[in-house]
Amino acid sequence: MEELKLKVGGMHCGSCEALVKDDVGEIAGVKSVEASHKDGLVTVKYEGRLDAEKVRKAIKALGYTVKD
């Protein structure tokens, strides 16, 4: 299983984490998503190919920032 870690700004609570988990979790290939507002980190575990740009766009569409 592969892993993508992204620094994400703007998450302030558990509800923010849940929104990110739900939206990113629906992207093809994603097996699990962990989000931490305290660490400002989103970890995506996936198998096969993953369009990392789709992950970034999904997070940005929720109003958060993604720092590479």
Global confidence as pTM: 0.93
Tokens of 67: 């720092």
CATH of domain 9-67: 3.30.70.100
pLDDT at 68: 67
Among residues 21, 22, 52, 16, the alpha carbon closest in space to that of 37 is found at 16
Answer yes or no: are the C-beta atoms of 16 and 39 closer than 8 Å.
Answer: no
| Domain range annotation of the chain | 9-67
33 CB neighbour count, 10 Å cutoff: 21
Residues 6 or more apart whose Cβ sits within 8 Å of residue 58: 23, 24, 27
pLDDT at 26: 97
pLDDT digits (tens, 9 = 90+) for 6-56: 999 999 999 999 999 999 999 999 999 999 999 999 999 999 999 999 999
Answer yes or no: are the C-beta atoms of 38 and 22 closer than 8 Å.
Answer: no
